């Protein structure tokens, strides 16, 4: 006999568990909007800083407001000495997502009031984590390569500063813009798994650091943010353009998953993939990686031929892999890039949850036996 009070939905598919003003998704038509503005307009006209302000305040900023927000964000770029020491203490063979999760969690120890959960305090903590996470990723990557940590430059934008700290040299304008567009397109996406995780954690009135740590742990999974690494591994396995067709058809024959295709929500082309496809092509041409883009495009054409009728199209991970590679990022930094961006969305959802909180406590559908007699151990 079931004890569930409502219809069971495996994976909570189709269950409305929260209200938000941040992002709207129409998976049938391939629409994504942040506070009503299309992702295409934001990717082509906005900046990551302005997009974060939009998500957290539910409106675009005036120029003075954007200037003030940017100044506050940049003032939190720097890491304290204790945080640097923790990064240097990490094993050099640690995975970057594990390093990021661990260090973000440890940031609570440097906050004199880590458990303060007023909306104003939550915004401040969110800004601190958003500003500091790029320094954490860059510092860990340099630490594992045996290089000195590069101090942040408060004169640089979020994207430019990260690339500066990672490589120790000022990035080109094209690289900065490409990275900024990646940050914008990944910033929020409804009640995805990691966002749900953040909202569930904060609904207990835990704290911002715990919510962000849990969300990072969720994003690491290959069925969520980790998929972009799988795309790059797949592209690297294909030796040349003329081998794309047999490689993909063999996977289809064996019913292997084609990384970067299909989405739980979209039954049309992921609008973020459309933005990143154009960007990936431009970057590939600029950086001498057109072979990579051409393989990607060939895969998309094969998948469209074989699966478009079933609503399986490229998702955001497919072309973001090529984009990150062209920027010069190591493969295991792809998912941390997703996290750097999605902190904006996670934090916005945490703030929304705190503004009208109710503890998440779903029920289960018990399908086990009843009235089973206990058997003494000597009789088992």
Q: What are phi and psi of 261, to 5 degrees?
A: -125, 140
Structure tokens at 271: 């609008």
Q: Is 317 a catalytic residue?
A: yes
Domain boundaries 227-327, CATH class: mainly alpha
CATH architecture of 23-224+332-355: Orthogonal Bundle (1.10)
Each of the 380 residues of the chain gets a pLDDT tens digit; together they read 444 456 788 888 778 889 999 999 998 888 999 999 999 999 999 999 999 999 999 999 999 999 999 999 999 999 999 999 999 999 999 999 999 999 999 999 999 999 999 999 999 999 999 999 999 999 999 999 999 999 999 999 999 999 999 999 999 998 899 999 999 999 999 999 999 999 999 999 999 999 999 999 999 988 888 777 888 999 999 999 999 999 999 999 999 989 888 777 777 778 888 788 888 898 899 899 999 999 999 999 999 999 888 888 888 788 888 899 998 899 999 999 999 999 999 999 999 999 999 999 998 889 999 999 999 999 99
Tell me the sheet residues that pair with 24. Answer: 33
Residue of 62, 40, 44 lying closest to 53 (CA atoms): 62
| 249 neighbors 303 (Cβ within 8 angstroms) | no
Catalytic residue among 143, 186, 189, 263: 263
pLDDT for the residue 1: 43
Q: Is 207 a catalytic residue?
A: no
CA atoms within 13 A on the CB side of 253: 6
Distances in whole angstroms, Cα of residue 378 to Cα of each of 372, 374, 375: 17, 12, 8
| 157 neighbors 49 (Cβ within 8 angstroms) | yes
| 255 neighbors 357 (Cβ within 8 angstroms) | no
Burial of residue 380, with CB atoms counted within 10 A of its CB: 0-12 exposed, 13-18 middle, 19 or more buried: exposed
Please name the residue ranges forming H helices in the chain.
39-45, 48-57, 63-75, 81-88, 96-106, 119-144, 158-167, 173-186, 193-202, 208-219, 227-237, 244-253, 271-287, 290-307, 316-327, 334-355
Question: In the chain, where are the structural domains located?
Answer: 23-224+332-355, 227-327
Catalytic residue among 143, 317, 325, 349: 317
Q: Is 124 a catalytic residue?
A: no
Sorted by sequence, the CB contacts under 8 Å of residue 281 that are 6+ apart come out as 293, 297
Sorted by sequence, the CB contacts under 8 Å of residue 250 that are 6+ apart come out as none
Output Rg (C-alpha) for the chain, integer angstroms.
22
pTM: 0.90
Burial of residue 223, with CB atoms counted within 10 A of its CB: 0-12 exposed, 13-18 middle, 19 or more buried: exposed
Catalytic residue among 224, 297, 325, 349: 224
């Amino acid at each position: 006999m079931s004890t569930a009070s409502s219809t069971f939905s495996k994976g909570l598919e189709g269950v409305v568990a929260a209200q938000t003003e941040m992002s709207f998704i129409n998976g049938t038509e391939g629409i994504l909007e942040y506070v009503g503005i299309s992702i295409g307009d934001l990717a082509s006209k906005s900046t990551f800083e302005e997009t974060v302000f939009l998500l957290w305040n539910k409106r675009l900023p005036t120029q003075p407001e954007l200037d003030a927000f940017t100044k506050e964000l940049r003032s939190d770029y720097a890491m304290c000495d204790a945080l640097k020491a923790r990064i240097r203490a990490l094993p050099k063979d640690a995975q970057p997502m594990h390093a990021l999760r661990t260090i973000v969690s440890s940031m609570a120890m440097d906050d004199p009031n880590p458990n303060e959960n007023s909306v104003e305090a939550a915004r401040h903590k969110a800004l601190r984590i958003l500003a500091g996470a790029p320094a954490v990723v860059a510092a860990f990557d340099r630490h594992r390569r045996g290089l000195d940590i590069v101090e942040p430059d408060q004169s640089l934008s979020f994207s430019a500063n990260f690339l500066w700290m990672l490589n120790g040299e000022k990035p080109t304008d094209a690289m900065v813009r490409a990275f900024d567009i990646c940050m914008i397109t990944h910033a929020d996406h409804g009640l995805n798994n990691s966002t749900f995780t953040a909202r569930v954690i904060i609904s207990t009135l835990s704290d911002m650091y715990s919510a962000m740590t849990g969300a990072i742990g969720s994003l690491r999974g290959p069925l969520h943010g980790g998929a972009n690494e799988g795309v790059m591994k797949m592209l690297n396995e294909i030796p040349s353009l003329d081998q794309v067709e047999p490689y993909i058809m063999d996977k289809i024959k064996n019913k292997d998953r084609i990384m970067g295709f299909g989405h739980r929500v979209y039954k049309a082309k992921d609008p973020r993939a459309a933005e990143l496809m154009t960007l990936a092509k431009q970057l590939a041409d600029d950086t001498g990686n057109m072979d990579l883009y051409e393989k990607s495009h060939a895969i998309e054409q094969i998948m469209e031929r074989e699966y478009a009728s079933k609503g399986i199209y490229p998702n955001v991970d497919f072309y973001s892999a090529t984009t990150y590679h062209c920027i010069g990022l190591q493969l295991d930094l792809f998912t941390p890039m997703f996290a750097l961006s999605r902190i904006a969305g996670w934090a916005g959802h945490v703030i929304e949850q705190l503004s009208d909180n109710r503890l998440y406590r779903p029920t289960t559908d018990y399908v086990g036996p009843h009235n089973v007699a206990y058997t003494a151990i000597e009789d088992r």
